Amino acid sequence: CCLWGTHHVQGQTPAPPSIGSTAPFAVAPGGTTDITLRGGNLAGPTELWTSFPAEAVLSPDVADNGTNAGEVVYRLTLPPEAPVGVHAVRIATVGGISPLKFVIVDDLPTVATVGNNTAAAAAQSITLPTAVDGTIAALTGQYFKFSVTAGQVVTFEVLGKRFGSALDPMLRLLDGTGHEILYNDDAVGLHGDARFTHTFEAAGDYMVEVRDIRFQGG
């Protein structure tokens, strides 16, 4: 007699990765930054593609880096000549390659928002020139205070819409007592982002407020 064996094997291709957010939002020319990518199906990364010149390796300082489906950390090293502006990254795994996720190459020093600076009395102190990296909660704004000299010219700008954020930003410049000096929403040519330039006649302390014009955050 004969014995016949049968079997049924199914193979399933892993789902492609996706990047929902990065932390920080910006990397610096001529510097090295550990950037955390958060999203889905990120385990087993094989390569990080960047639209700007950079050396990208899995950060060796993160335990089990590359095994977490929700988060992976890459160490990016940029040459000094890397062009500033809005750029993009994509991550590849055995499941495919992610859609583009915008990041910023910025030659300004970057600080993180403290998050609890939602009132003028709790404004976060910053030193110009600088960039602030953060997220605004719904129904709130954030305040930042700084000092200037007489005659100093400063440009304030929010990058939100232009790198894929849901934030519809509004900017207000305030004096030390909270009186409004300038206001901007939807600067021309910025696709919904805000920007203005101001020459300060008097030296002293001032504040800038940024929030979502619809109070939805982002």
Rg (CA), the chain: 22
Q: What's the predicted TM-score (pTM) here?
A: 0.83
Q: How confident is the model at residue 10 (pLDDT cuts 50, 70, 90)?
A: low
Contact between 206 and 146 under an 8 Å Cβ cutoff? The reply is yes
Query: 28 or 6: which carries more pLDDT confidence?
Result: 28
Cβ 36 vs Cβ 112: under 8 Å: no
pLDDT at residue 184 greater than cutoff 90: yes
The CA–CA distances, whole Å, from 200 to 143, 159, 169, 174, 197 equal 18, 23, 23, 11, 10
In this predicted structure, the answer to whether residue 93 has a pLDDT above a threshold of 80 is yes
pLDDT of 1? 46
Q: pLDDT by residue (tens digit) across 42-86?
A: 999 999 999 999 999 999 999 999 999 999 999 999 999 999 999
Q: Is 165 left (phi over 0), alpha (psi -120 to 50) or beta?
A: beta
- Phi/psi of residue 23, nearest 5 degrees: -145, 115
> 142: pLDDT confidence band, cut at 50, 70 and 90?
very high
C-beta neighbour count of 127 within 10 angstroms: 9
